[in-house]
Amino acid sequence: MKPTAVVTGGSKGLGEVIATFLARTGYDVVITGRSEEALARTAKRIGVRVVAGDVSDPNDRKRLADNTGDVAILVNNASELGTIRPLVESEPDELRRIFDVNVIAPIALVQALRPGLVVNITSDAAVGAYEGWGGYGSSKAALELVSRTLAAEGIHSVTVDPGDMRTDMHQAAFPGEDISDRPAPDITIPFWAWLFQQDAASLDGRRFQAQGERWEEAS
């Protein structure tokens, strides 16, 4: 029986790249996301299973757990960017949504799925105080602490910063700007090929840059 991997936000961009790689290397992959249509297109293209839903919704998380069984790898890729603006102008409801998706949902999915390895997707905004990025950046900083804490508590967990890429989310962060100079998400494939060959215990609590040159030396 194939081991199962779950990729949230798996219908496009980085999530699709990771899901495709895992499927091609022998995993039974389940992708989830809010758009059933986009998920169906991706599933048909790369040969994976679909459980549509919002990771921040407890009912959708339960449905995901009910349709996956034992999970070897959980990739918490789904993210909420929010509006790029100063923190003093941020709406509390929007900040709650960002933290619900980027922090609470990954914890809840670990609780529900009990995966063998947790891969949390972060950002350089987690370690840099970028003007206008306070909501998103602080949520990713919190997610990084979650990863280290999970590892300290005996759950294999790693954080990965994929770097700048040509994705819809990156475009949303820079509206009206030309981001064609950024690489496509498949630039990260060599990293995933390396990561998923490692002993999970050796990765615990570490932070990697997928576009870095030497992954053995975590940042």
Closest CA to 69 of 1, 157, 151, 146: 1
Domains of the chain, by residue range, sit at 4-209
Query: Bridge-partner residues for 214, per DSSP?
Result: none
Terminal Cα distance for the chain, rounded: 35
What is the chain's mean pLDDT, rounded? 93
**Locus of tokens 């890429």:** 165
- The backbone torsions φ and ψ at residue 192, rounded to the nearest 5 degrees and listed phi first, read -65, -35
Question: According to the model, what pLDDT value does residue 179 have?
Answer: 66
Q: Helix or strand or coil: residue 125?
A: helix
Question: According to the model, what pLDDT value does residue 217 have?
Answer: 61
Question: According to the model, what pLDDT value does residue 204 have?
Answer: 96
Q: List for the chain the helix, strand, coil content (%; round to 5).
A: 45, 15, 40
Closest CA to 151 of 109, 197, 178, 119: 119
148-200 pLDDT, tens per residue? 999 999 999 999 999 887 777 766 667 777 767 778 899 999 999 999 999 99
On whether the CB atoms of residues 81 and 136 are closer than 8 A, the answer is yes
- Residue 70: exposure state from Cβ atoms within 10 A (0-12, 13-18, ≥19): exposed
The CA R_g of the chain, rounded to the nearest whole Å, is: 16
Helix (H) or strand (E) holding 139: helix 134-152
Distance (Å, rounded) from C-alpha 205 to C-alpha 107?
15
* Paired tokens of 207: 């932070």
Say whether domain 4-209 belongs to CATH 3.40.50.720: yes
What is the 8-class DSSP label of residue 101?
I
207-209/28-32 β-pairing = unpaired
Closest CA to 17 of 140, 213, 215, 187: 187
Question: According to the model, what pLDDT value does residue 184 have?
Answer: 87
Which parts of the chain have pLDDT scores under 70? Answer: 170-173, 179, 217-219
On whether the CB atoms of residues 200 and 119 are closer than 8 A, the answer is no
